[in-house]
Amino acid sequence: MLSPKVGVGVFVLNKEGKFVLGKRKGSHGHGTWALPGGHLEAGESFEDCAAREVLEETNLKIKNIRFLTATNDVMVAENKHYVTIWVACEMVDNQAVAENLEPEKCEVWEWVTWEELKRWAKLEVVERTDPGYRALFLPLLNIVAQRPDFKGDKRAQVCRTLEERFLVIERPAVKK
């Protein structure tokens, strides 16, 4: 197996608190659903990578990019290992529409809720024959599996406009 690479996955949120999810094609994870994102380039910040990848893939301009968590993603069948950095952000223009600028890599972009994502992750483990099942890209599944404290609820402090509707990472209190 090769040395781990660093990927960045981006929760691009709209004013309804939904985020954009695309169906992958032509690469590892073909046929699964994933967030916009990609490889971190040498010397690049997580925020710059997120903004670059989202613009390249969806033509959405983003702001208020915040770190959420990281996952360790070993893809045995593809002989790949990634550390995925997860960030959340807002769109600069809330009226903007996600365009499919890389049709060779993505079939379609759709806006989904955190509850839908959690349901699909549960079905991945329990019942793949459910009519509502969507295969999720391993790094996205790993948010649920590796970070059980990662929740979608009303206590979010990720981005200014997300405070009442989306993601939170609960960390245990530090004892002094």
The CATH number covering residue 115 comes to: 3.90.79.10
Count the domains in the chain. Answer: 1
Is 164 within the bounds of a domain?
yes
pLDDT at 169: 41
pLDDT at 45: 98
Q: Average pLDDT, whole number, for the chain?
A: 82
Distance CA 67, CA 78 (A): 27
Range of the domain at 37: 5-169
Is 62 within the bounds of a domain?
yes
Is 162 within the bounds of a domain?
yes
Q: Which residue has the higher pLDDT, 151 or 60?
A: 60
Segment holding 58, helix H or strand E: helix 46-58
CA angle (135 as vertex; 130, 138 as ends), nearest 5: 140
Is 126 within the bounds of a domain?
yes
Is 84 within the bounds of a domain?
yes
pLDDT at 170: 41
Distance CA 36, CA 111 (A): 12
Per-residue pLDDT for 15 more than 70? yes
pLDDT at 46: 98
Is 61 within the bounds of a domain?
yes
**Interval 114-157: pLDDT, tens:** 888 888 887 776 555 655 567 889 898 888 777 766 654 333 43
Per-residue pLDDT for 96 more than 70? yes
pLDDT interval class at 4 (50, 70, 90): very high
Is 174 within the bounds of a domain?
no
Is 175 within the bounds of a domain?
no
pLDDT at 135: 86
